[in-house]
Amino acid sequence: MQKDFYVPPRDDTEPRYDVSECIKKLSKKQKIPPNKKIDKIVVYKSKKIMQLYKNGNIYKQFPVSLSKNSTKGHKMQDGDGKTPEGLYTIYSMRCHDRRYKAMYISYPNAKDKARARMLGVDPGGYVSIHGQPKWNANGNGDKYSLKYDWTKGCIGVPNKTMDILWTYVERGTPIQINP
């Protein structure tokens, strides 16, 4: 049976965020006005940057953390430690008790699933742009966490960046992840 999404096992020793306030705000989130809405997100893995585009121009740029093998190509299977490459969309937003907030990316797409099926592997899934672990809730460790690639295939950003993304990005926003 093919799994559509990988749900990682919970590490009950890791400190958690209280997501109750976030969930309240998310449930009341209004549609983003057209003058604030981002057209697309572009990530350059080799440069470790994320750019937000508005009206076809770079609007904001942020540093990112990736997975340990992110510069070794496109994600091929669950557990390979790679961040996907290609055109996807933001399909869901979630308050996250381990990573502050998360925006889920539509990996694997049909092409990724077909490639994995050909290779006889699970393509993985559950890939997101997410905030920081609880130990870095206040951002004092951002410089440290951005220096290293520590995610398991996701795109990690400081919590302040995650708050900005939630202000400008809607479900359905395209995200292009480049090598």
pTM, entire model: 0.85
* Host domain of residue 155: 36-178
Rounded CA separation 82/67 (Å) = 6
Q: Which of 22, 1, 2 is nearest to 100 (CA)?
A: 22
Q: Give CA torsion, residues 147, 150, 156, 158, to 10 deg.
A: -50
Residue 65, domain member (yes or no): yes
Q: How confident is the model over 122-144, as pLDDT tens digits?
A: 999 999 999 998 888 888 889 88
Q: How many domains does the chain have?
A: 1
The domain that holds 125 is classified in CATH as 2.40.440.10
**Per-residue confidence at 58, pLDDT binned at 50, 70, 90?**
very high
Has residue 26 got a pLDDT over 80? no
Query: How many Å is the Cα radius of gyration of the chain?
Result: 16
Q: How far is CA 153 from CA 39, 67, 131, in A?
A: 24, 5, 14
- pLDDT for res 12: 64
Residue 4, domain member (yes or no): no
Q: How confident is the model over 59-112, as pLDDT tens digits?
A: 999 999 998 888 888 899 998 999 999 999 999 998 888 889 999 999 999 999
